[in-house]
């Protein structure tokens, strides 16, 4: 069975924890897009692991973690991450593989990335990891793939600084590089997780362009970046938070008003640990945008949703969710492509009562307070998509499964 896990918001939804949890029943975990601009945080026995390139399932010693064809990979960052894992007792020997079709991030791309964003009249707010430049080089057909490391003519075309950078990694990379299409072709009956990076609203085509990432953050990217046909994918899971966050610039209709909701924003940020794993930047926070979430469900054919961070609302007496926008005096219930429209959108809210009790104490969904159930079930009706998993904390055990995605 092949399951795709994607972000259904602007990234940072808690995909890392969910992939780690679901990986128990998978043999292979494939990250299909993005690069070191992404960050997944996993907490195991009170130990925190921050991953940027390697798929979350790597923490299980019997799983194979694969960096897919749609990724752009900085070798220096990759081996730094591998060292971190091995130093902490996670043996990655022979368990981390790389698609030969993935592209390489070179140091000079990182410098270009920072300079280009700083020169923009309206900076996008990139992480400065060279991701966008690498994808640009790929689109211009001037990039270098891992398959090209053995192509002498191609290597000779590189600047001397690029070759000097790559030289120390060549021997270490060779045993990790695979033909992913052929590799999976021999493992058709395996349980495979396809792990996305960022979220649908940062997808190059579906997101709030130009304030997006450069890769495919949507479910469609799993087939291309995972080197399988789209009909080979069995299910799509969309991960979302009980509220909304965004890093970097760009529209965010349900963002908290810092003039009147600064205290609430600070509470959500601190309680939810809303700081970038990669950059440490504080995340912009706001109420859940259900218009955007429904759009993600529609454009990804999401079979079921995974709700995270619901416990952040444990102490609130009341909270809200955005159910429509008011744009130029008109009620809008769909997610517009126009940045101008999104920037001027006034959120239309529905209020929900809080439950004032810790959800971490729940063993099953039946243990949830009725108010939490009402919030969950309203979202299901609004998005016409079931919420099959609810996370109420950072630890693996703080996960409520209403229906296992591994069941057809």
Active site residues: 12, 40
Q: How far apart are the C-alpha atoms of 101 and 72, rounded to whole Å?
A: 10
Ramachandran area for residue 130 (φ above 0: left; ψ -120 to 50: alpha; else beta) = left
Q: What are phi and psi of 119, to 5 degrees?
A: -85, -15
Q: How far apart are the C-alpha atoms of 278 and 16, rounded to whole Å?
A: 13
Contacts 24+ apart (CB under 8 A), 44-50: 44/20, 44/395, 44/396, 46/395, 47/88, 49/85, 49/88, 50/277
Q: CB 250: neighbour CB atoms within 10 A? A: 22
Q: How far apart are the C-alpha atoms of 246 and 285, rounded to whole Å?
A: 7
Quick check: bond before 210 cis, omega within 30?
A: yes
Q: How far apart are the C-alpha atoms of 366 and 352, rounded to whole Å?
A: 19
The residue ranges of DSSP E strands in 212-317, in sequence order, are 235-241, 243-246, 284-289, 304-308
Q: The dihedral of CA 335, 240, 402, 304: what is its sign?
A: positive
| Residue among 214, 242, 253, 291 at smallest CA distance from 390 | 242
The one-character DSSP state at 402 is S
Q: Which helix (H) or strand (E) holds 131?
A: helix 131-139
Paired sense of beta strands 47-51 and 243-246, if any? unpaired
């Amino acid at each position: 069975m092949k399951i795709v896990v994607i972000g259904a918001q602007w990234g940072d939804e808690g995909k890392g924890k969910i992939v780690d949890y679901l990986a128990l029943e998978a043999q292979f975990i494939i990250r299909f897009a993005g690069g070191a601009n992404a960050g997944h945080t996993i907490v195991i026995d009170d130990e925190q692991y921050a991953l940027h390139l390697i798929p979350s399932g790597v923490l299980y010693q019997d799983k194979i973690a694969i960096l897919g064809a749609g990724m752009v990979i900085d070798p220096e960052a990759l081996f730094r991450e591998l060292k971190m894992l091995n130093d902490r007792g996670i043996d990655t020997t022979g368990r981390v593989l790389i698609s030969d079709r993935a592209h390489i991030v070179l140091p000079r791309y990182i410098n270009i990335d920072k300079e280009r964003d700083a020169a923009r009249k309206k900076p996008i707010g990139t992480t400065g990891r060279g991701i966008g430049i690498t994808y640009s080089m790929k689109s211009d057909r001037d990039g270098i793939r891992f398959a090209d490391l053995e192509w002498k003519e191609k290597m000779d075309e590189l600047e001397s600084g690029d070759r000097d950078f790559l030289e120390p990694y060549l021997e270490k990379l060779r045993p990790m590089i695979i033909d992913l299409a052929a590799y999976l072709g021999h493992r058709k009956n395996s349980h495979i997780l396809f792990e996305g990076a960022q979220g649908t609203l940062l997808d190059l085509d579906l997101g709030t362009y130009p304030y997006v990432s450069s890769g495919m953050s949507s479910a469609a990217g799993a087939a291309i970046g995972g080197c399988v046909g789209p009909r080979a994918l069995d299910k799509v899971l969309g991960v979302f938070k009980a509220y909304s966050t965004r890093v970097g610039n760009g529209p965010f209709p349900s963002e908290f008003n810092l003039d009147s909701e600064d205290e609430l924003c600070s509470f959500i940020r601190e309680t939810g640990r809303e700081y970038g794993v990669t950059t440490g930047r504080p995340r912009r926070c706001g109420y859940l945008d259900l218009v955007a979430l429904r759009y993600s469900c529609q454009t990804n054919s999401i079979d079921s949703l995974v709700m995270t961070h619901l416990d952040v609302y444990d102490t609130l007496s009341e909270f809200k969710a955005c159910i429509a926008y008011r744009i130029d005096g008109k009620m809008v219930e769909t997610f517009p492509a126009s940045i101008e429209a999104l920037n001027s959108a006034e959120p239309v809210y529905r209020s929900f009562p809080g439950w004032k009790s810790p959800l971490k104490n729940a063993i099953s969904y039946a243990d949830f307070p009725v108010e939490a159930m009402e919030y969950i079930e309203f979202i299901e009706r609004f998005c016409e998509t079931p919420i099959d998993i609810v996370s109420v904390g950072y630890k693996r055990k703080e996960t409520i499964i209403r229906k296992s995605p591994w069941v057809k």
